[in-house]
Amino acid sequence: MPRNIEPLFVTRTPHRLLPDPRRVITRPFLLGEASVANGDSRVKTLLDRILAIPEEKIPATLNEILRDFSTRHRDFEQVLEDHFRLVSHHLDRSESLSPERRLLIGAYCSHEYSIEAAALCNPSMVPAPDQSGLPKGASRFIMSLRAVGEGHISSIEFRSGVIELDGEVAFDSISPFVSTGRRVPNPSYDKEVFHSKMGELGFHNEVSKWVLDRLPDRFDLGELMRSIASSTTQNIPAPMRRETIEVIHWLATSNYDVVFSPDSAISERVIFPEGPTESHGMEDARFVRFVEDDGSACYYATYTAYDGHEVLSQLIETRDFLQFDVRTLNGTGAQNKGMALFPRRIGGKFAMLSRHDGESLYFTTSDNIRFWHDAETLSIPLHRWEMIQIGNCGSPIETEEGWLVLTHGVGPMRTYAIGAMLLDLDDPQRVIGQLPGPLLAPAPDEREGYVPNVVYTCGGMLHNKQLILPYGFSDVGMRIAAVSLDDLLAQLRNQAEG
Residues 422 and 359: their CA atoms lie apart, in Å, by 19
* Sequence ranges of the domains in the chain: 10-21+115-182+255-497, 24-114, 188-253
Per-residue pLDDT in tens (0 to 9) along the chain, 498 residues:
344 445 688 999 999 999 999 999 999 998 865 555 566 788 889 999 999 999 999 999 999 999 999 999 999 999 999 999 999 998 988 889 999 999 999 999 999 999 999 999 999 999 999 999 999 999 999 999 999 999 999 999 999 999 999 999 999 999 999 999 999 888 899 998 899 889 888 898 989 998 999 999 999 999 999 999 887 766 777 888 889 999 999 899 889 999 999 999 999 999 999 888 898 999 999 999 999 999 999 999 999 998 888 888 899 999 999 999 999 998 888 877 889 999 999 999 999 999 888 899 999 999 999 999 889 999 999 999 999 999 999 999 999 999 999 999 999 999 999 999 999 999 999 999 999 999 999 999 999 999 999 999 999 999 999 999 999 999 999 999 999 999 999 999 887 655
SS (H, E, C) 236-281: CCHHHHHHHHHHHHHHHHCCEEEECCCCCCHHHECECCCCHHHCCC
Helix (H, G, I), strand (E, B) or coil at 101: helix
Measuring CA to CA, which residue among 399, 488, 394, 404 is closest to residue 123? Answer: 394
Query: Can you list the pairs that 77-85 forms with residues at least 24 positions away whose Cβ atoms lie under 8 Å?
Result: 77/103, 79/26, 79/106, 79/110, 80/106, 80/107, 80/110, 81/106, 82/106, 83/26, 83/28, 83/29, 83/107, 83/109, 83/110, 84/109
Do 355 and 389 form a contact (C-beta atoms < 8 A)? yes
Tell me the C-alpha distance between 125 and 127, whole Å.
7
Question: Residue 249: how many CB atoms within 10 A of its CB?
Answer: 14
Give the amino acid at 163: I
Rounded distance between C-alpha atoms, residue 127 and residue 138, angstroms: 11
Q: Dihedral angle at the C-alpha atoms of 72, 73, 76, 82, nearest 10 degrees? A: -130
- pTM equals 0.93
Q: Tell me how far apart the alpha carbons of residues 139 and 77 are, in angstroms, rounded to a whole number.
A: 38
CA dihedral of residues 134, 137, 142, 148 (deg, nearest 10): -120
Distance, C-alpha 35 to centroid of its chain: 37
Please state, as a whole number, how many other Cβ atoms lie within 10 Å of the Cβ of residue 319: 13
Query: Is 494 exposed, middle or buried (CB count within 10 Å of its CB: 0-12, 13-18, 19+)?
Result: middle
Residue 360 phi/psi, 5° resolution? -125, 165
Inter-residue contact 183 to 192 (CB < 8 Å): no
Q: Per-residue DSSP letters for 165-218?
A: TTS-EEEPPPPS--B--EE-SS-EEEHHHHHHHHHHTT--SHHHHHHHHTS-SE
Sign of CA dihedral 201, 204, 208, 209: positive
Please report the sign of the dihedral spanned by the C-alpha atoms of residue 358, residue 284, residue 282, residue 331: negative
List of E strands, 92-178? 110-114, 119-127, 139-148, 154-163, 169-171
CATH class of 10-21+115-182+255-497: mainly beta
For 188-220, write each residue's pLDDT tens digit. 999 988 998 898 888 989 899 989 999 999 999
Contact 449, 476 (CB under 8 A): yes
Concatenating the DSSP letter of every residue in 35-56 gives: B-TTSSBHHHHHHHHHHTS-GG
Check if the beta carbon of residue 91 is closer than 8 Å to that of residue 109.
no
298 Cβ neighbours under 8 A, 6+ residues apart: 289, 290, 292, 317, 318, 319
Spatial separation of the C-alpha atoms in residues 318 and 418, rounded to whole Å: 28
Chain mean position to CA 291: 20
Q: Is 137 helix (H, G, I), strand (E, B) or coil?
A: coil
- 314, with CB counted inside 10 A (0-12, 13-18, 19+), is buried
Helix (H, G, I), strand (E, B) or coil at 122: strand
pLDDT digits (tens, 9 = 90+) for 390-429: 999 999 999 999 999 999 999 999 999 999 999 999 999 9
Q: How far apart are CA 391 and CA 411, in angstroms?
A: 12
HEC string for 361-375: EEEEEECCCCECCCC
